Amino acid sequence: MKRNRIIIFLCAGVLFLPGIIPAQNLTITQIDSAKLLTSSTVDCYVSITDRAGVPLSSVNSSLLRAEHETAHGMTPAEIVSIDKNESSNTKITFLLVLDNSGSMYTSHRMDHAVRAVKDFLGSIHNDDVRVGLAVFNTRYHLLAEPENNMDTVEAALSEIKKPDNKDAYTELYYSIGRAAEDLSKYSGRKAVVLLSDGENYPYFTKSGKIHPDFGEKLYQPEDALIPLQKDGVTLYGINFSLRTDKALSSISTGSGGTVYSASTAGELSGVYGEIKKRIEKEYRLTVAAPLVFLEAPAVTIRYAGVSDTRTYSARSLMGSPADKPVLFSLIVFGLTLILWALLMLIRFEKAASAAEIFMIPTGTGKPLQRTIVIDSHRTVIGRSPQADFTVAGISEMKENHAEIVRDEKKGTYTILSDESISVNNNLTKKRELKPGDVINVEGATIVFDAPEKSTASR
C-alpha cells in the first residue's frame, strides 16, 4: 500500500511539473542570423505546445538544449539568453497578404477579409510590432511597407479594388516569394500571413498569353519555399474557401509555419488573432554560433523529449543572405584585421586624459556624439535621446540598452545590460572594462578608453 502511494505521488508530481510532460510539439519557426557578424549568435524562435497545439504558458528553461552544425556534425551550442516574444523587446514584423483575384468578390469574401484585417490592426498595442499590407492576383503589389502605424495600413485597405479580367488570376507561388523578399531586409521575427480562397491559377497557363511581368515562366511551390527559407521568413496560410492549394500546407510547414482554414467572417478574425497569439507566445533563444564554412548550417533545439532542426543562411554585410559561406568567413576575418588596425591607430593617436567611450564607423547606427567623457556614476547607452550616449538607426536597441557604472573607490568601470552584448567578441551581460575594450551593442561598435592609472589597481 505504501509503495502504491509513493508511485501515485511520483506520477502526480511529474504530471504537474510545469513545461515538462505537457510539451508535445516543438517547432523552430524561424532563425534570424542578422547578428551573426556582429555577435556570433543567431536568434532561434521556438514554439512549444501541448497535445492540443496550445502554446505552453511557461517552460523549464534548464531543460532547453541547443546544437549547432559544424564540419564534424552537430555539436552542443551555448544558449546565451531565453526570452518570450511577448515580454521582451523582440521586433515582430507581419506582412498581411490578401488574395485579390476575381473569386474573392463572390460571397463578400473580400469584405470579410478587410474586416478581419481591421480587427487584427486594432489588436496591436505594442511599439515593437510592425505591420505591412500586400495584395496579389495576376501581379503582386506591396500597398504598405511594414511599420508601427496601423492607420497607414488601414488606409491602404481602402485602395484595394476589384481587378479587371486580365488581373483576376492567382499567381500564388510567385507572390509568396515576393512577400518573402519584401521582409528580407527586416531583422527580428518575420511572418507572412497570406489569405487565399483558391489554388495557384497562373496567367500564362490559363489565359494562353504571355505574363506581363515574367513571360512564360511558371512558378512552382519550391519557388515560394526557397525565398522563405533563405530569408528566414515564416509563412502562415489561411484557406478561405473549400478550394485549397495542395502545396500551400507543405510550403507553410517548410518555412516553420502552418495553414489555417476559415469559412465565416468570425472564424477568419479568430484565425488572425490566433496567429498573432502564437507568435507572441514563442520563445527567442539566442544561440552562440561557431564560425563554419557551410552554406546552410543547421540548428537543433531540444526540450523535454521533443526537438526540431532548421537550417539558416548566413547574412552578408548588407543584410542579405550570403551565397558563398567561405567568402563570408574571409570577409569576417578581414574586417577583424581592419578593425584591429583602426583601433590601434585611434589608441596611439592621442592618449585618453579621462575615461571615455567613442563609436567607430564599422557597424550600424549613428551616434549623436562620437565621443563622450564618463564623468558620472552611471552612463546610459541606448536609442533614447535622453541617454548619455545615444545611438540612432538601430531598431533592436532599447531606449536604455546598457549602462557603464563607475566605482569611485576602486576606480573601475563595469558595463551592465539586460540583453546580451559583446565585449571583445565575448558575449556578456556584465563585465569590468579595461582601456581599449571593444563593445558591440546590437551592431554599434563602441570603444572604451581610460588613462592607464585608472586601471593600475588591477
Domain ranges of the chain: 2-83+284-311, 92-236+249-254, 321-348, 350-455
C-alpha cell, 73:
556534425
Return the bridge partners of 7, or none. none
CATH number belonging to the domain at 92-236+249-254, selected among 3.90.320.10, 3.30.70.1230, 3.40.50.10950, 3.40.50.410: 3.40.50.410
Mean residue pLDDT of the chain comes to 86
Cβ atoms of residues 284 and 85 within 8 Å? yes
pLDDT band at 443 (very low <50, low <70, confident <90, very high): confident
Q: What is the pLDDT of residues 248-283, one digit of tens each?
A: 999 999 999 999 999 999 999 999 999 999 999 999
Q: How far apart are CA 283 and CA 387, in angstroms?
A: 29
Structure-model confidence comparison of residues 325 and 160, the more confident one: 160
Q: Has residue 420 got a pLDDT over 80? A: yes
| Residue 110: other Cβ atoms inside 10 A | 23
Confidence of residue 40 (pLDDT cuts 50, 70, 90): confident
CB burial readout 73-103, b (16+ within 10 A) else e:
eeeebebbbebbbeebbbbbbbbbbbbbbbb
* Dihedral over alpha carbons 365, 369, 371, 372 (to 10 degrees): -120
Q: Which of 236-245, 376-385, 390-399 has the lowest mean pLDDT?
A: 390-399
**Is-contact 229 256, C-beta < 8 A?**
no
Alpha helices for 350-455 (secondary structure H):
none
CATH superfamily of 2-83+284-311: Immunoglobulins (2.60.40.10)
Coil, helix or strand at residue 236: strand
What is the pLDDT confidence band of residue 21, given thresholds at 50, 70 and 90? very low
The whole-number pLDDT of residue 394 equals 84
The pLDDT score that the predictor gives to residue 289 is 92
Determine which of 8-12, 144-148, 169-173, 390-394 has the lowest per-residue pLDDT on average. 8-12
Segment 341-388, tens digit of pLDDT: 555 555 545 567 789 999 987 667 888 888 999 999 999 999 998 999
Which whole number is the average pLDDT over 190-199?
96
So what's the pLDDT on residue 361? 74
Q: What is the pLDDT of residue 4?
A: 46
Q: How far out from the chain centre does Cα 378 lie?
A: 31
Q: Does position 77 have pLDDT exceeding 60, yes or no?
A: yes
Check pLDDT > 70 for residue 322: no
Question: How far apart, in whole angstroms, are the C-alpha atoms of residue 247 and residue 240?
Answer: 15
**What is the pLDDT, as a whole number, of residue 346?**
52
Q: What is the pLDDT of residue 454?
A: 47
Query: 442: pLDDT confidence band, cut at 50, 70 and 90?
Result: confident
At 217, the pLDDT band (50, 70, 90 cuts) reads very high
pLDDT above 50 (res 398): yes
pTM of the entire predicted model? 0.73
Which pLDDT value is given to residue 330?
Answer: 54
Average pLDDT over residues 201-221: 95
Q: Which of 102-111, 275-284, 306-315, 333-342 is the least confident region?
A: 333-342
pLDDT value, residue 214: 94
Integer angstrom CA distances of residue 162 from 101, 104, 132, 443: 8, 9, 20, 44
Going by C-beta distance under 8 Å and a sequence separation of 6 or more, which residues neighbour residue 202? Answer: 169, 170, 171, 211, 218, 219
Confidence class for position 23, pLDDT limits 50, 70, 90: low
307 compared with 88, residue with greater pLDDT: 307
Instruction: Tell me what pLDDT residue 333 has.
Output: 54
What is the structure's pLDDT at 148? Answer: 94
Q: What is the CATH number of domain 350-455?
A: 2.60.200.20
pLDDT score recorded for residue 350: 57
In this prediction, residue 112 carries a pLDDT of 97
In the predicted model, is pLDDT for residue 326 greater than 70? no
- With residue 346 as reference, give the H or E element that holds it: helix 325-349
